[in-house]
Amino acid sequence: MIPRLRHESEVRRLLRQFPVVGLIGARQVGKTTLARRLIAQEPGPVASFDLEDPTDAARFADPMLALQRLEGLVVIDEVQHREGLFRVLRVLVDRPGGRARFLVLGSAGPELFRQSSESLAGRIAYHELTPLSVDETASVAVDRLWLRGGFPRSLLASDEIESAAWRKAFVRTFLERDLPQLGISVRASTMRRFWTMLAHYHGNRWKASELARSLGLSAPTVNRYLEALVDALVVRRLTPWFENLKKRQVKAPRVYLSDTGLLHTLLGIRSESALLGHPKCGASWEGFAMQEVVRILSADWEDCHYWATHGGAEIDLLVFDGSRRLGFEFKRASAPRMTRSMHSALADLRLDRITVLFPGDKRFWLHERVEAVGLPLACSQGLE
């Protein structure tokens, strides 16, 4: 087991500030394991429930009766299975002298967010547990993490065959069981086709009409499918940024699968050699490195953008850090170079700096405001 110390620390901090903390993340990403570590280290009383356990589910037929006398840390796993639970939590945390803190775990979905936003506004904070990152897997080669992805069972499998088999089973279970449990009623075979086609768009602009024609569906329907996968945290949608320029700027978002292991499974990539020879190799590495940059900056995905013009200028990632404008480019090349597009982005967006991430182990300046940094160095030393 790989400790998730950074995430543990953040969840503890939130539990000190909020009466309810929601630990969300994709299925099998390690939420329950993290909660068990928090329970083991909790000095006070602890109560734990798993709403997929028939015994615990039966006790929650009357959640007020099950929870009203509890003190200390109360952990409720698979919270999306009990409709109306957030209303009960609101009553409990608003009682004078309440001594319980609640950690609720769930696979994010539209229903989960709807319930909490209506009932626990101002009382709940969310923390997303993402797949394992480079800083958490120092003993694992970066290329292995890139190939297998960050789901613990995939990354820690004994060999590539076992890792690929786990990911293939995950995709099937996710489509056949997990999505319906989140209230998303789409045939598994249809969603599998859509998700696979989406993998071929990884790193590209979202074109609903193009996918709709290929699947024989309407554009609103494929937009709804995309929304479902974004809500389930297996797809990231990067929104475009617009400047007040006399240039035509791209308005469509870009889409990325949130885990490269799942991306490679849907693309049929089973080995490092197959990955390096695949047309989506560069886009795969871009998404992988982008996840690391967002983590290093502790940025919120809603505050991350990309920028592009119809004339060809673009920046892969644009992040606002206070008053600073930071641009990032991702190049799978041993010696990245300054490009015309970078010059244009520096001028048009008034960027403070651009960082070019590449797979090497060095860092050097390409321009007074443009630095090339090897991804391993960025993860160990930071971006500045």
Neighbour-count burial for 156-187, b at 16+ CB within 10 Å, e otherwise: bbeeeeebbebbeebbeebbeebbeebebebe
Contacts for 49 with CB less than 8 Å, ≥ 6 apart: 56, 59, 60, 66, 74, 75, 76, 77
Domain boundary among 92, 110, 128: 128
Question: Same domain, yes or no, for 96 and 186?
Answer: no
Question: Same domain, yes or no, for 158 and 249?
Answer: yes
Q: Could you list the residue range(s) of the whole structural domain that residue 115 is in?
A: 5-128
Question: Same domain, yes or no, for 231 and 343?
Answer: yes
pTM exceeding the 0.85 threshold for the entire prediction? yes
Check which CATH number belongs to the domain holding 63 and give it: 3.40.50.300
Domain boundary among 128, 150, 175: 128
Question: Same domain, yes or no, for 114 and 196?
Answer: no
The C-alpha angle with vertex 251 and arms to 249 and 252, in degrees rounded to 5, equals: 135
- Number of folded domains in the chain? 2
Binned at pLDDT 50, 70 and 90, residue 211 comes out as very high
Residue 178: predicted pLDDT? 83
Q: What is the pLDDT of residues 145-163, one digit of tens each?
A: 999 999 999 999 999 999 9
143: enclosing H helix or E strand: helix 142-148
Q: What is the pLDDT of residues 319-343, one digit of tens each?
A: 998 889 999 999 999 889 999 999 9
Residue 63: is its pLDDT beyond 60? yes
Question: Same domain, yes or no, for 82 and 168?
Answer: no
Q: What is the pLDDT of residues 254-278, one digit of tens each?
A: 999 999 999 999 999 999 999 999 9
Residue 110: predicted pLDDT? 53
Domain boundary among 128, 163, 178: 128
Residue 259: predicted pLDDT? 97
Query: Among 245-249, 256-260, 295-299, 375-379, which stretch is predicted with the lowest mean pLDDT?
Result: 245-249
Question: Same domain, yes or no, for 19 and 168?
Answer: no
Question: Same domain, yes or no, for 102 and 202?
Answer: no
Question: Same domain, yes or no, for 46 and 74?
Answer: yes
Question: Same domain, yes or no, for 298 and 212?
Answer: yes
In this structure, what token pair is assigned to residue 159? 């060999």
Question: Same domain, yes or no, for 269 and 305?
Answer: yes
Question: Same domain, yes or no, for 101 and 141?
Answer: no
Question: Same domain, yes or no, for 174 and 77?
Answer: no
How far is it, in rounded angstroms, from Cα 310 to Cα 218?
Answer: 26
Q: Tell me the average pLDDT across 4-29.
A: 93
Residue 111: predicted pLDDT? 57
